[in-house]
Amino acid sequence: MALWRSLLLVVAMIAIATRPLVEASLTAEDFRAEVHRVDPSIFPLQRPLSPFSTETHTMDVSNVVQRFFNAAGLALLNSCCRDWMHSYDGAASSVSAQYEEMIFDACKMLPDEHDLGAALSLLQLRRATAQATTDGEQDPPYFGFIPKFLGRIVAPATAVLEITPCNTTMSVQPLLNATTGVITIRVDAFRATNSSSIICVDNMWFSVGAKTSSLRIEGTGSYVASLAVDMTSESIAWDASTNGVRVYRFAHSDPWVGLVQIVDTLLLFLPQLTGHTDPVSALSNVNFISNYSLMTPYPIPRPFPYVVNVSTTSDIHDGDLFAKMDLDGIGPIEAFAQGTTSGHTAFALRNTTTGELFVCESVAQGIICTLYDVWIQQKQSFGSNIVLVPLDPSLRAVFNNSAAWEHVNKFLGNQYGYFNFFFGWVDTEEKNFPCFPWEWKRCLSSELVEFVMLFLDASVPEVASTFFGQALNHRAQTGVLDMPISDVIYAASKHLAMSFKRLMTVPEDDAWLYNSTKRGVPGRQLLPSEVCSSFACSTLRAAGVFDASIHSNITCTEIDVYDMFSMSIFDTTRMGDGRPTACLAADPHNNLCQLSGGWTFHLVEDMNTRPVTPQMSLHCASRNPVPYDREGC
Ligand SMILES: *[C@@H]1O[C@H](CO)[C@@H](O)[C@H](O)[C@H]1NC(C)=O
Ligand SMILES: *[C@@H]1O[C@H](CO)[C@@H](O)[C@H](O)[C@H]1NC(C)=O
Ligand SMILES: *[C@@H]1O[C@H](CO)[C@@H](O)[C@H](O)[C@H]1NC(C)=O
Ligand SMILES: *[C@@H]1O[C@H](CO)[C@@H](O)[C@H](O)[C@H]1NC(C)=O
Ligand SMILES: *[C@@H]1O[C@H](CO)[C@@H](O)[C@H](O)[C@H]1NC(C)=O
Ligand SMILES: *[C@@H]1O[C@H](CO)[C@@H](O)[C@H](O)[C@H]1NC(C)=O
Ligand SMILES: *[C@@H]1O[C@H](CO)[C@@H](O)[C@H](O)[C@H]1NC(C)=O
Ligand SMILES: *[C@@H]1O[C@H](CO)[C@@H](O)[C@H](O)[C@H]1NC(C)=O
Ligand SMILES: *[C@@H]1O[C@H](CO)[C@@H](O)[C@H](O)[C@H]1NC(C)=O
């Protein structure tokens, strides 16, 4: 599937956790209170905030996740706006007055506006108007708020940093008071020009565990930041004294620019809130793809409506896959993060007796099978871009339909593979985290990921447990699933001599079970966790498609969307000119048959090129922007 909602949450969380408005640091407690303010019924303050509690799951997970995202997004915007309006003096700014006015108005509206979708739509309209009148090259807008990691400093050492954009030399020294846990970070900054500048500001950000602090360095001088960690916790005390202070810098000088970047990024996700891919959101997403990914050809619009009716009896067979790209924020970002162009995998499976064609997949609603005719109509009306990726006939010949159903029936109703989705994607210490244009030097880093995990564990423990905690417990062999993340990291270091970075790369084991839920069954139970591509892989395996040497020796939970389509198991005779006539007529240029969508959609060039080998894809790099550097794959 789309890891969509789950990835979206992570993105929203990074945005929230590292808000560029560094004047006021948002603590885990503030965040929790802010989210609660927006949606009190779903996030009671007394209990851990829990969009995935047993009670809510049996209602409707996707609805709950959406409300959580709404609340988190709104909490973020509210809190950014509050800080920005507070510091906005109505004059000093390097950007157009219209642009500022636009944000100012939207911010004034936000605190009373509990429908993030409506608020974002308004911003989108205003932004489009404002942008038409803004000129000059700007920072890449999306994810510009992600700070660059500069290094870690263990108290009481001093580090000297040379920081180019403002030509600042900085000596940074943290001091840890082992009794109180207060960490004082002293920064002596020097700029040769020795002129203070509000145009060139070093927005510094520091984190230790889940705690943060920040500084705005405007020129030569001494600055002090401080934060306090809980020294009564063994793992937190260990982290503070061993791993030290992590130092980051935000790209922009102007907090206002940071706000625009957050808004722009959130706008990519508007279809998540409105339920359909409107043309403006689709365009934003195509902008994102064509600026952030080097995997061409980029999507171009098709005449609308685009409908290709293929024969469900002769053109689609058991084990054929579908690749999907929704221009809805999550699709492109998920694909981008994995170093591919597709965001989702589903597969075709016929009812053994009636022969009716079904599409089975792991999605936010859980693991489901839908009649093909119903499925394709839903996708066409949502505007999903879908291509058919046909299985090789020699493999189709061995595809055991009843064995496949046996497997699928075991999984039907299971929760989507939130638990290990992050770990199926991250196979290396740093080489799966994307870098951003235009220099491709600012990248997501494992330090930031560690911070986000710890921040979530401190503010929304059950979310953290679902997305990261349980999988980390498995990796650190703690014997339980619910040890807090900071303790897990400590345990891995102490007992396995494994750093956090290494811990993340421990391959998943298909036999690992997660404390999960199944639709229609009250309470929690231990179940396997499979994302879309893992579920497709495990079903092909169950159907006997992989030969004997692979069958018991492939880890499907490590197979991501790129991995799945890169396997050389597909039928080239049904590609290109061999496609069904309806595709050839409607769509002469694609190598695959596009069944739905308002935009062209191509898989990466190296699809169908990698032989299936034992334990493939356990250590596979995918760092954007090098789409075809698949080191370790
Ligand atoms: C930093 O130094 C470079 C090269 O000496 C210079 O071109 C640039 O203008 C300086 N930047 C600032 C903000 O002083
Ligand atoms: C730590 O803080 C306490 C309380 O403020 C203070 O009394 C003590 O001197 C500090 N220790 C050091 C080493 O600075
Ligand atoms: C640089 O300027 C600041 C005030 O802007 C002043 O306090 C400081 O002494 C100056 N430093 C040098 C080395 O001239
Ligand atoms: C960014 O994307 C837009 C829309 O596709 C395109 O016009 C523009 O040239 C791209 N910019 C860069 C630097 O690639
Ligand atoms: C495709 O099939 C649908 C439903 O069977 C039908 O309504 C539609 O007219 C067909 N379109 C084309 C272009 O064949
Ligand atoms: C196939 O369809 C029949 C009749 O609707 C149903 O009884 C059976 O359970 C289905 N088999 C599978 C594997 O879904
Ligand atoms: C297909 O799978 C079923 C159920 O696992 C099994 O009983 C049957 O023998 C298999 N058929 C073949 C041809 O292997
Ligand atoms: C699973 O989660 C439930 C509810 O959060 C908890 O009561 C139970 O102890 C957990 N089971 C395991 C094995 O962690
Ligand atoms: C599985 O693959 C690994 C890596 O190639 C190999 O070392 C191992 O012997 C294989 N195990 C089985 C049971 O085939």
Q: What is the pLDDT of residues 11-30, one digit of tens each?
A: 555 555 555 444 445 677 77
Any atom of ligand 7 within 6 Å of the Cβ of 85: no
Any atom of ligand 1 within 6 Å of the Cβ of 201: no
Residue 240 has φ and ψ, to the nearest 5°, of: -65, -40
Within 13 Å and on the Cβ side, how many CA atoms surround 89? Answer: 6
pLDDT (0 to 100) of residue 626: 66
Residues with Cβ within 8 Å of 559's Cβ and at least 6 positions away in sequence, in order, are: 424, 533, 534, 536, 537, 617
> What is the signed CA dihedral for 187, 192, 193, 199, rounded to 10 degrees?
-50
- When mean pLDDT is compared across 160-164, 173-177, 472-476, the lowest value belongs to 160-164
pLDDT cut 90: percent of the chain above it:
54
Q: What is the pLDDT of residues 503-554, one digit of tens each?
A: 999 999 999 999 998 888 888 899 999 999 999 999 999 999 999 999 999 9
Question: Which ligand 5 atom minimizes the distance to the CA of 307?
Answer: 13
Sole residue written with tokens 């030969």: 547
- Tell me: pLDDT of 135 over 60: no
Distance 554 CA to ligand 9 centre (A): 9
Higher pLDDT residue, 108 or 316?
316
Max Cα–Cα distance, the chain, nearest Å: 81
Any atom of ligand 3 within 6 Å of the Cβ of 133: no
Cβ atoms of residues 398 and 414 within 8 Å? no
3-state secondary structure at position 203: strand
Six-digit token string for 425: 């994607």
pLDDT (0 to 100) of residue 231: 96
Residues with Cβ within 8 Å of 71's Cβ and at least 6 positions away in sequence, in order, are: 35, 38, 39, 42, 43
Distance 197 CA to ligand 3 centre (A): 13
* Residues facing residue 594 across a β-bridge: 387
Six-digit token string for 174: 């943290």
- Res. 361 pLDDT band, cuts 50 70 90: very high
Any atom of ligand 3 within 6 Å of the Cβ of 353: no
Within 13 Å and on the Cβ side, how many CA atoms surround 332? Answer: 29
Any atom of ligand 8 within 6 Å of the Cβ of 481: yes
- CA-CA distance, 464 to 455, in Å (whole number)? 9
Closest CA to 404 of 543, 296, 214, 600: 543
Any atom of ligand 3 within 6 Å of the Cβ of 196: yes
Distance 371 CA to ligand 6 centre (A): 12
Question: Which ligand 8 atom minimizes the distance to the CA of 470?
Answer: 14
- CA-CA distance, 410 to 367, in Å (whole number)? 10
Residues with Cβ within 8 Å of 227's Cβ and at least 6 positions away in sequence, in order, are: 25, 182, 183, 185, 206, 208, 211, 212, 213
The CA radius of gyration of the chain, in Å to the nearest whole number, is 25
Distance 202 CA to ligand 3 centre (A): 17
- Tell me: pLDDT of 272 over 50: yes
Residue nearest to atom 2 of ligand 7 (CA): 403
Distance 400 CA to ligand 7 centre (A): 6
Residue nearest to atom 4 of ligand 4 (CA): 287
Cβ atoms of residues 335 and 341 within 8 Å? yes
Sole residue written with tokens 């030569």: 220
- Res. 137 pLDDT band, cuts 50 70 90: very low
Six-digit token string for 48: 């851990």
Any atom of ligand 3 within 6 Å of the Cβ of 220: yes
Mean pLDDT (the chain, rounded) = 85
Six-digit token string for 281: 């959101």
Return the DSSP state at 172.
E
Instruction: Fill in the amino acid letter for 109.
Output: M
Dihedral sign from CA coordinates of 378, 381, 382, 388:
positive
- Tell me: pLDDT of 295 over 80: yes
| Residue 47 φ/ψ region, left for φ over 0, alpha for ψ in the -120 to 50 degree band, beta for the rest | beta
What's the whole-number mean pLDDT along residues 48-58?
54
Q: How many CB atoms lie within 10 A of CB 164?
A: 6
> What is the signed CA dihedral for 92, 95, 100, 101, rounded to 10 degrees?
90
What's the whole-number mean pLDDT along residues 403-426?
94
- When mean pLDDT is compared across 233-237, 318-322, 428-432, 481-485, the lowest value belongs to 428-432
Any atom of ligand 5 within 6 Å of the Cβ of 307: yes
- CA-CA distance, 238 to 113, in Å (whole number)? 43
Residues with Cβ within 8 Å of 76's Cβ and at least 6 positions away in sequence, in order, are: 12, 15, 16, 19, 262
> What is the signed CA dihedral for 485, 481, 54, 525, rounded to 10 degrees?
160
Six-digit token string for 484: 């807090």
- Res. 62 pLDDT band, cuts 50 70 90: low
- Tell me: pLDDT of 236 over 70: yes
pLDDT (0 to 100) of residue 337: 84
Six-digit token string for 109: 């509206």
User: How many angstroms separate the first and last alpha carbons of the chain?
Assistant: 21
- When mean pLDDT is compared across 400-404, 461-465, 523-527, the lowest value belongs to 461-465
pLDDT (0 to 100) of residue 87: 60
